[in-house]
Chain A
């Protein structure tokens, strides 16, 4: 397998806790085997600043909560051959989507005014505008592989990546579920 050309992988962290990326790192020693087969071309884990024009596998963690998330999801869809929705936030909206039950103004008040004693203020500069409602990734762009779990286990991520490397479509439902 090592003689095969490496596949390119890009990952991004939308509105989530980064737990899915942490679970990805939980592959531990399997990461060494993984780098023989994949090249991570864009990710919070590497220093590349721009998503390349063509990527084999794109992995999105987190839900679509802001204009920035939406832009990134669309860019990933445009440039990635296979798009993976990783974790419950990406697949269902999960915890970030729990703000959908409240008015956005109330959410801002709770986060930036009610619980703040020093200089309460709502940030408006250099932060992307929030969207309502928060949506799972497939609520905005077409997704090829869904990997539920909060977070999906390292074993589940390993299975999905191994199948994609081998050119097969994985069935993550056999190894993970909502809330796993």
Chain B
């Protein structure tokens, strides 16, 4: 889905989120309106400045009159919409999603370079995940340390595709892509060649900065040092689309 480009004569709609009357541009998505109004909505795949992916489903909300839950990142606002963002049902599903992410791959926080600066880790705490109720899959995943500056650990990847999107949409290199299906799904560089052998990678490091976990990190950083900076992203995105 392309980035929403500002329209010159866009209309304003009124809607109700968590019992608050709000107004928004009709081309905005629910998550944008929530964030503008400081209504916390968890998400892992959504990032301001990148296209919408709708993959993690953590930003699900309830809309009055609709039985199914919708992802706030990929749902546009509408006149008269009534939205709930933090119900018991949503908390239950969000907790389950986070537990599934932990159960699928091997996120051993205590030996992770991103320990203390990981979005999945802090989200687990926010969602009340004090243990994982499902059995862990315990499937081994490889680590690619072939790049001279960066490292990719598939064990810690949650397939949010932020790296894929930032490389394509902001850097313009399209080094990253996704291969396989289901639990075999993996992010890859070039045609699934080692990252260090990539001919398209510019070593800009944007993918590392937007990665929410310890899947993409700088080589040589010690645990707790891998602090990521994502403030550059909306600025670069705006400049790109202004052209």
Q: Is the CB of B132 within 8 A of A92?
A: yes
Q: Is the CB of B135 within 8 A of A139?
A: yes
**With A133-B138, A177-B122 given, is the CB distance from A146 to B130 under 8 Å?**
yes
Q: Is the CB of A95 within 8 A of B111?
A: yes
Q: Which of A40-48, A97-105, A110-118 contacts B (4 or more CB under 8 A)?
A: A97-105
Q: Is the CB of A97 within 8 A of B138?
A: yes
Which residue, of A95, A136, A178, has the highest number of chain B Cβ atoms within 10 A? A178
Partner of B125, one of A85, A150, A173: A173
Q: Which of B50-58, B71-79, B102-110, B200-208 contacts A (4 or more CB under 8 A)?
A: B102-110
Q: For window 76-129 of chain A, which residues contact chain B by CB distance below 8 Å?
A: 85, 88, 91-95, 97-98, 100-101
| B217 at interface by CB-CB < 8 Å | no
Cβ–Cβ < 8 Å partners of B121 in chain A: 177-179
Partner of B136, one of A95, A97, A143: A97
Docked complex Cα distance between A92 and B130 (Å): 9
Q: Is the CB of A138 within 8 A of B106?
A: no
Q: Is the CB of B130 within 8 A of A136?
A: no
Docked complex Cα distance between A10 and B165 (Å): 52
Q: For window 139-158 of chain B, which residues contact chain A by CB distance below 8 Å?
A: 139-140
Interface string of B60-104 (1 = CB under 8 A from A): 000000000000000000000000000000000000000000100
| B116 at interface by CB-CB < 8 Å | yes
Closest partner residue, chain B, to A19 (CB atom): B110
Q: Is the CB of B109 within 8 A of A150?
A: yes
Partner of B110, one of A85, A147, A172, A179: A179
Which residue, of B102, B130, B133, B135, has the highest number of chain A Cβ atoms within 10 A? B130
| B112 at interface by CB-CB < 8 Å | yes
Cβ–Cβ < 8 Å partners of B132 in chain A: 92, 136
Closest partner residue, chain A, to B111 (CB atom): A95
Q: Is the CB of B138 within 8 A of A100?
A: yes
Closest partner residue, chain A, to B116 (CB atom): A179
Q: Is the CB of A98 within 8 A of B128?
A: no
Q: Is the CB of A173 within 8 A of B140?
A: no
Cβ–Cβ < 8 Å partners of B133 in chain A: 138
Tell me the A residues contacting B by CB distance below 8 Å: 85, 88, 91-95, 97-98, 100-101, 133, 136, 138-139, 143, 146-148, 150, 172-173, 177-179
A–B complex contacts, Cβ < 8 Å, 6 sampled: A91-B131, A94-B108, A101-B106, A101-B139, A136-B132, A148-B131
**Sorted from nearest, which 4 A-B pairs have the closest CB atoms?**
A179-B109, A150-B110, A101-B140, A177-B125
| A85-B131, A147-B130, A178-B125 known, 6 other contacts, Cβ within 8 Å | A91-B131, A94-B110, A101-B140, A177-B125, A179-B109, A179-B112
